[in-house]
Amino acid sequence: MIAENAFPLALISGLLLLTYLALVWRKRPKRRRLLVDGSNVMYWRDGKPDLTTLRQVMLALVEQGFSPDIVFDANAGYLLTGRFRDDHAFARLLGIPAHRILVVPKGNQADRYILTAARELETRIVTNDRYRDHADDFPEVLVKGHLVKGGYRDGVLWLDPLRETA
């Protein structure tokens, strides 16, 4: 008798759990995407390429509710570690999933990749680069707030306000 009732009760409790999780998930704020110009940000502290700087910026963005992706020039690995590093190697070094990182193909600069991706994703870019050479093709770089500036003052990370503009 108990065995006969066990399956329907398990099925009902499973459905109730799934319904509860769906309601909770819907109420959770969705993480907003941002692109991080890794080849620019890695120089923010003391003008030297540094992985710790990237980790701190990524952590600060996640703490503010963002889901950041990083794009690097192909030579970023050489500058940071003395040899080429692909997406997976950077993922291991930074402790983040590889799908959040793009190392552009050798011989290419990341600028066009970053600008195109930001446009397609309708998101902003964390960088101190102004992308002046690309403003004709990507006029959004001239819109206040599209490029999120940052750096270090007295050893403390600062970022432009990350409002829902741009």
Output the domain CATH number for residue 104: 3.40.50.11980
CA–CA dist 89, 15 (Å, integer): 41
- Please state, for a pLDDT cut of 90, what percent of the chain lies above it: 75
CA–CA dist 111, 131 (Å, integer): 7
pLDDT grade for 166, boundaries at 50, 70 and 90: very low
Count of the separate structural domains present in the chain: 2
Q: Are residues 66 and 44 in the same domain?
A: yes
Q: Are residues 12 and 72 in the same domain?
A: no
CA–CA dist 148, 6 (Å, integer): 56
Q: Are residues 48 and 12 in the same domain?
A: no
Q: For residue 6, what are the domain limits?
A: 1-30
Q: Are residues 17 and 87 in the same domain?
A: no
pLDDT grade for 108, boundaries at 50, 70 and 90: confident
Query: What mean pLDDT do residues 64-81 have?
Result: 95
**pLDDT over 50 at 3, yes or no:** yes
